[in-house]
Amino acid sequence: MGFFAKLKQGLQRTKQLLQTDIRDLFKTGEILDEAKLEEFEARLIRTDMGVAASSQIVGELRTKYLGRTLVVADVWSTVKETLKTILRGNDDVTWDPDRPLSPLKFSEGKPTVILVTGVNGTGKTTSIAKISKLLTSQGKSVMLAAGDTFRAAAVEQLTLWSQRLGCAIVTRPSGTDPASVAYSGCDEALKAGVDVLIIDTAGRLHNQANLMKELEKIRNVIGKKVPGAPHECLLVIDATTGQNGLNQAEHFGKAANCTGIVLAKLDGTAKGGVTVAIRQRMGIPVKYVGVGEQIDDLELFNPDRFVDALFDDA
Ligand SMILES: Nc1nc2c(ncn2[C@@H]2O[C@H](COP(=O)(O)OP(=O)(O)OP(=O)(O)O)[C@@H](O)[C@H]2O)c(=O)[nH]1
Ligand SMILES: [Mg+2]
């Protein structure tokens, strides 16, 4: 199954709800009244897009069509356009499907340092492998640093990926201070002249003060070694976590100064509409979406394509 097909599968339920609701509620030739708008808003919220996005969409419909004779196609395109606007945000990001690296900010010098963080088990290590694959396929040289020294298995997992990818990796025995691994990573990356260094970290919660401090220490250490590092701090979010996970992510993103989101496991949820809520709540762009456990199951997030997948009947 291709990436787009997998993405669509993950959006199946949201898509069905949305399309059925629009079909049921809005009939061409009828007058759009407030009751209908309120009912639509209630249903939108049930698609996991979140309250803010739902009310923004309904607000657009109200402004344009309240008290007027409806044309379903107009409702359809207004909903689509509003969703695209929300998903694009005010991001200073180039969404170019032909350039899957475009949403990453590369530094002028080498290496660009990408720090990858998030709650336990969200898909950080796997996403690092997938991003490395994208980067190498576009001619960038990549080095990994196994900054999750908490579990021995974590180092092994990343080492295995590096072997499959054929890229260099910096590891230290488990228990080593992660900041020291990150430092060594920068050191080796500078010496080798690689384009990108990606640093894995152990999963943690935003309210674990000592672990958040550890993340801060990593940032400080690498910032001293490589100017401007980390150039990207990616927060990996598990798309299958509900509202609670989203609250957590919001705190995490702020506490760790994250610059972008990797939304993993979009294939594992029927409620891909949560992507909209995530974009709106987090205030930072979703840069990549993951739709499986394999190395190729990652692609840059494209707001237009995403919305088209939500509405496309094919
Ligand atoms: N279905 C699906 N599974 C995924 C995806 N990304 C990661 N996984 C799986 O999720 C599980 C956890 O992935 P990891 O990459 O180890 O997650 P992590 O955040 O590094 O975990 P910790 O280091 O323990 O915090 C693994 O079984 C992955 O194969 C995805 O996009 N889709
Ligand atoms: Mg991991």
User: Domains plus CATH for the chain?
Assistant: 3-88 (1.20.120.140), 112-258 (3.40.50.300)
Closest ligand 1 atom, CA of 122? 19
* Ligand 1 proximity of 148 Cβ (cutoff 6 Å): yes
Of 236, 252, 293, the residue with max ligand 1 atoms within 8 A of its CB, to mutate for a pocket test, comes to: 293
Q: Which of 115, 126, 265 to mutate to test the pocket of ligand 1 (most atoms within 8 A of CB)?
A: 126
With cut-offs at 50, 70 and 90, classify the pLDDT of residue 47.
confident
Chain Cα centroid distance, residue 210: 25
Collapsed DSSP state (helix, strand, coil) of residue 276: helix
Mean pLDDT of the chain: 91
The CA distance from 199 to 55, in Å, is 39
Comparing 92-101, 257-266, 303-312, the range with the smallest average pLDDT is 92-101
Which stretch of 87-91, 118-122, 142-146, 300-304 has the lowest confidence by average pLDDT?
Answer: 87-91
Strand pairing category for 232-238 and 260-264:
parallel
Task: Confirm if 202 and 188 have CB atoms less than 8 A apart.
Answer: no
Answer yes or no: are the C-beta atoms of 146 and 172 closer than 8 Å.
Answer: yes
Q: Which pLDDT belongs to residue 80?
A: 93
pLDDT bracket for residue 95 (50, 70, 90): low
Is the CB of 203 inside a 6 Å radius of any atom of ligand 1? yes
For CA atoms 198, 204, 208, 211, the dihedral sign is negative
At residue 230, does pLDDT exceed 60? Answer: yes
Single pTM value for the model? 0.93
The closest residue, in CA terms, to atom 1 on ligand 1 is: 292
In the predicted model, is pLDDT for residue 97 greater than 70? no
- 272 in ligand 1 pocket by Cβ < 6 Å? no
Partnered with residue 113 across adjacent β-strands are: 197
Residue 203 alpha carbon, nearest atom of ligand 1: 25
